[in-house]
Structure 1
Amino acid sequence: MTAPGSTAVSFDAFYRAQHARVLGYFRRKAGRDAAPDLAQEVFTRLLRSGALERAECPEAYLTRIARNLLIDNARCKRPRPTAFYSLDEERDAVSCADQTWRIEAADLSHLYRRTVRAMPPKTRRVFLMRRVRRMSYKEIAASLGVSVATVDYHMVQALALCRAAVAAQW
């Protein structure tokens, strides 16, 4: 009969004695990046099996677990046959936006309209001249008799109001 905790002590000693060997094995077989994870998995499998105390040669049993783990990983990485299907234009065509997107777009449009109506008059005018009439900052400045910097200021204010309205809504 074994004393309580003796399995943990024996496993700890076995782990310390064999870890470097197992790690080196995996570095040669699987590479430096995968080696630590694979080594950890080998010792986890050994501990779960409970074979450390039953095996006549636990080092050989550990090596067998390591080989089996490499075989399992190779099976998982084996490329599967690729299936090719002909392109069906009707099935694979881009579908129109669904109803939810249309509703959200309409809600966003209403939000922008309310936000533009709530803007100060000069800011609203500059914003609409730029966004609706597609006028340049120079054209807006000439039309209103202000500097380009003033037009830029009002555009920044208008865009900040729009951003804040959207952020508050969603």
Structure 2
Amino acid sequence: MSPSIPRRMIADEPLGQAFREERSSLMHFLRRQAGPDAAPDLLQEVFARALRSPEAGRLANPGAFLRRIAGNLLIDRARRAKAGVVIVPLDDARDAPCAAEQGLALEAAQLLASYENAVRQMPAKTRQVFLMQRVDGHTYREIHERLGISVATVEYHMMKALSALAKALESSR
């Protein structure tokens, strides 16, 4: 057994398998987005949140679940950076963020702003479908039932939304 895989995750086979399959790509993604120093901690938090999730045993696509958690962590991190929340212990003022960390915080804030702007610019129905799926956690079938549109139309709106986000985030780099 690898020391980097928690024991409970080994027992939870779909999530354990997803961990083994997605670990390196998630690490690469987190390094690119948050930097090499923060990536290992963020990866650990991804799997800790996955294990704590009440949905962990009922996942249809555990890999997508892990990727969503990673994206949400980056968004949370960018929001904290945008809010300017910095906790500096009084005794350790010398450990204040260095210029590189501040640069990453600025980059994360810019990434979040690009993301939020892209969501705002989506057509209303596309934005509604996207937010229902990504923020509220509804399945395509649930969205289809609530909005009275076909599952194929839900898929179409999700593809449009994800394409718009990819373009916006790519142009922000």
Q: TM-score, normalised by structure 1?
A: 0.42
Larger Rg: 1
| Higher RCO (C-alpha under 8 Å, 6+ residues apart) | 2
Q: TM-score, normalised by structure 2?
A: 0.42
Higher helix share: 2
